[in-house]
Amino acid sequence: MELLLPANPIIQQQVHTRSISSLYNRLVDNATDFNVATGFITNDSIAALKQIVEFREGGLNLSLFIGMNYLDGFTKPQYNAIKELDGFLTRYNSGKVFLSPKALYHGKMYSFMQGSSCLASFVGSSNLGSFVGTSQNLIEADVLFQNDEGKQINSYIKQITNALGTDFKDLPVIEKFKEVDFELLKDYSYVKKLTKSQLQKELSTITGAYVDIPLKTEAKSNLNTYFGKGKIKGKYSPRGWYEVEIIVGKNLPDIDLIPDKEQGAFTVVTTDGYEFECSRQGDYSKNFRSENDLKILGRWIKGQMENYGALEIGTPVTEDTLRKFGKSHLRLQKTTTGKFILSLV
């Protein structure tokens, strides 16, 4: 048994432990079975699970038990994504999704098996998003079990799934959904939420100068970085669902309004009241991105598309997506304070 804490320097300065993130990718590479009993799911964690199974090309079986959402409620994008994930697992004989119609289960338990051997099992506070590395930098505490202890945890996961779970396909179709999450960047690190009065003050400083950056739909870059190659060839090194970098043409009109790579990061304020840092990186300062975490900008853009019903979780952003969404550009409006107002147009 071993305590795991995240690789957050605030906690690691005082309590030195390994983290789930230091173990996770190797486990995905080598396991034959990944068994999950969790409470809630998030949009990007659903996409991450599908990505894992696709990466292993039939070598990994996923059993996913979700204990809260059937009774507490799904958003429509979440439900559609879970339906697609279950269908994908069935088509490729790679596992099943189970939901709990009987009771609310809020536990968090995970195991990686290699045949009859347990590579690692985990019990703790990490919800699925934290465990698969898609949610924010929360200080979670988890306990790692291996060998016979790990096999016992894996057995408990199976027993809990059998006791509370029902195969997704055997449940009545859900037709009433929770309201989508309009607070797209709530609890994100490196993001400040403005009050209404603060937002109005920022909007009052807009000048007439602005630049419109096209949202491009290349298959494996820009808004579709998720579908690109991993960061390490031949190893599980995923690109997150909300990870994006917008490619800016060097001849884009008025692009010089935005600080380039040499000038460094600058502050943007979104029209729904979030403030965070962005920058231009790469050759010719062509990559427009959020600083510190590429998922910030991606969650803000793709989250709006999901909420509008133009984008399904885990599917590419296409020209048809933009047509349904009705917006195809990022607009950055210069202000008298040096910040930029960020909107979609």
Collect all residues with Cβ–Cβ distance below 8 Å to 244 and sequence separation of at least 6: 222, 223, 225, 289, 294, 297, 298, 301, 302
Q: How far apart are CA 202 and CA 209, in angstroms?
A: 15
pLDDT of residue 137: 67
Q: Max Cα separation, the chain?
A: 67
pLDDT of residue 39: 95
Nearest to 69 by CA among 40, 44, 35: 40
Q: What is the CA radius of gyration of the chain?
A: 21
Strand bridging mode 61-66 / 95-99: parallel
Tokens of 262: 């040499």
Q: How far apart are CA 161 and CA 234, in angstroms?
A: 32
Strand bridging mode 329-335 / 2-4: unpaired
pLDDT of residue 187: 83
pLDDT of residue 181: 85
Dihedral sign for Cα 160, 136, 149, 1, please.
Answer: negative
Q: How far apart are CA 89 and CA 60, in angstroms?
A: 10
Q: How far apart are CA 140 and CA 130, in angstroms?
A: 8
For the CA atoms of 53, 57, 58, 64, what is the dihedral angle to 10 degrees? Answer: 0
CA angle at residue 230 from 225 to 34, to 5 degrees? 110
pLDDT of residue 12: 86
- The alpha carbon of 306 is separated from its chain's Cα centroid by a whole number of angstroms, namely 13
Contact 123, 145 (CB under 8 A): yes
pLDDT of residue 31: 97
Tokens of 188: 């994100």
Contact 109, 157 (CB under 8 A): yes
Contact 249, 282 (CB under 8 A): no
Q: How far apart are CA 1 and CA 313, in angstroms?
A: 36
What is the block-wise mean pLDDT of the chain (345 residues), using blocks of 10 residues? 87 88 93 97 93 94 97 95 96 97 96 97 91 78 95 98 98 94 90 97 96 95 90 81 92 92 97 97 94 94 96 96 97 97 98
pLDDT of residue 63: 98
Q: How far apart are CA 149 and CA 233, in angstroms?
A: 33
Q: Which residues of 45-68 are buried (b: 16+ CB within 10 A; e: fewer)?
A: bbbbbbbbbebbeeebbbbbbbbb
